[in-house]
Amino acid sequence: MTLHCAFIGFGKSTTRYHLPYVLNRKDTWHVAHIFRRHAKPEEQAPQYSHIHFTSDLDEVLGDPQVKLVIVCTHADSHFEYAKRALEAGKNVLVEKPFTPTLAEAKVLFELARSKGLTVTPYQNRRFDSCFLTAKKAIESGKLGKIVEIESHFDYYRPVAETKPGLPQDGAFYGLGVHTMD
């Protein structure tokens, strides 16, 4: 069985972290559409020749073959795109941070539940052995009540960021979610 999916967003999260893995699984995955607001030259790359690029979100969400929508946009748009996809009857995977607020996350989870769909945040470390070991230790109660976590994350960029970020793009939401799940 082949899972037909679509991406919302065509930035580095899509092109570096999600799409390469999906395209290597052509026997079980088919990328039907990529929604982006503006066309990019990269769309012409040979590995994308079978993908329909569009700036019409309704076209993507209206495709009955698409069962999963992967939201890889700026954090401030995750909630709205995920909500629209759920309302259109699609299962949804949302890049981190899932939503800027707990209230928005609860709205998405309730909407998915009411429609018999799945909405989930993307977490690239959830099934790593070190995370599974830590989870087991925490759940066993042997560590007591966790009141503080210290973690280290290297993030080197030789050129300074040119655009100011949003609060949900910062160290906790933007990077901390890799080590906290």
Instruction: Convert the pLDDT of each residue in 123-136 to its tens digit.
Output: 777 778 888 898 89
Q: In terms of pLDDT, which residue wins out, 44 or 85?
A: 85
Whole-angstrom distance, CA of residue 28 vs CA of residue 160: 40
Cα distance between residue 67 and residue 56, in whole Å? 18
- Three-state DSSP at 93 gives strand
How many C-beta atoms lie closer than 10 Å to residue 179's C-beta? 14
pLDDT reading at 156 higher than 90: no
Nearest to 175 by CA among 146, 151, 149: 151
Q: Report pTM.
A: 0.82
Domain 3-121: CATH superfamily, name plus number:
NAD(P)-binding Rossmann-like Domain (3.40.50.720)
Q: Is it the case that residue 141 has pLDDT exceeding 90?
A: yes
**How do residues 73-104 score in pLDDT, each as one tens digit?**
988 999 999 999 999 999 999 998 899 899 99
**Where exactly are the structural domains of the chain?**
3-121, 129-178
Model pLDDT, residue 42? 87
H or E segment to which residue 104 belongs: helix 102-115
Decide which of 12 and 124 is more confident: 12
SS3 of residue 2 by DSSP:
coil
Q: For 37-44, what is the mean pLDDT?
A: 88
